[in-house]
Structure formats: structure tokens, C-alpha cells
Amino acid sequence: MVAEWLASAGIPFERQYEIGKFHVDFFVPSAFGKGFVIEVNGCYYHECPLCGKKSFDPKSRIRDTKRYGILTGSGYDLLVLRECDLKMHPEAARRRLVKVARLMHSP
Ligand SMILES: [Zn+2]
């Protein structure tokens, strides 16, 4: 979904982009910092504050917090999308994503 949305808005991106020891879901070259990172989190694999789903892996929240801290701490901007939000409100999610990604890419 996210790939199609970015592509149809003409925003350049890379999938599974390598940053240090991480692979991020989507990377958009940014006019500001080092880049704009978009992560799409499945509600079963990551804890989800939107639908309240608990992860099957209790360490996932700690791992995610650490990962996001390292990314933003080294100058990347980050947007975390939730699977349930994309499924339930695709049009609103698309609009929000394209708006932010466009701003980040070239203000
Ligand atoms: Zn959810």
C-alpha cells in the first residue's frame, strides 16, 4: 500500500533500506535531515496503541523503542504507521502519509 501511495504521488523512495544494522521499511530522501524513514508495523508483531493488540513477543516494545531512538538520534525523521490504521482508514492514512512525505522530501 505505502509503496503505491508514494509512487503515485511521485515521491522517490527505497524499500528495505539499510541504515547501519537496521533495515527500514521505506526510506525517502529528505531535504532536512538524513532522510525520512517510514515503518509499517503489524499489530501482532509490535504492540499497537491504536487497536490495543498485545505483541506475542513481550520484548518487541523495548526493541522498537531502542530502534526508533537510534534512528531519530542519528538524524533520521521517522513515521510509524500501524497496520490496523492502514486497513481501517486507508484514504485518511494515504493523505496523511503523502502530505508528510512530500514536505520531508522537498518543502
Ligand atoms: Zn493495531
Question: Which residues, in sequence order, are CB contacts of 87 under 8 Å at separation 6+?
Answer: none
- Grid coordinates given for 27: 526510506
Measure 87 CA to ligand 1 centroid, in angstroms: 9
Structure confidence by residue, pLDDT tens digits, 90-105: 999 999 999 999 999 9
Structure confidence by residue, pLDDT tens digits, 29-84: 998 889 999 999 999 889 898 999 988 888 888 999 999 999 999 999 999 999 99
Query: Where does 2-99 sit in CATH, by number?
Result: 3.40.960.10
Per DSSP, 29 falls in state -
Cα separation, 91 vs 95, whole angstroms: 6
Predicted confidence band of residue 107 (pLDDT cuts 50, 70, 90): confident
Please state the pTM of the whole predicted model.
0.93
| Residue 73, phi then psi, degrees to nearest 5 | -65, -25
* Residues 28 and 38 sit within 8 Å (Cβ to Cβ): yes
Q: According to the model, what pLDDT value does residue 27 have?
A: 98
Measure 52 CA to ligand 1 centroid, in angstroms: 6
Measure 107 CA to ligand 1 centroid, in angstroms: 30
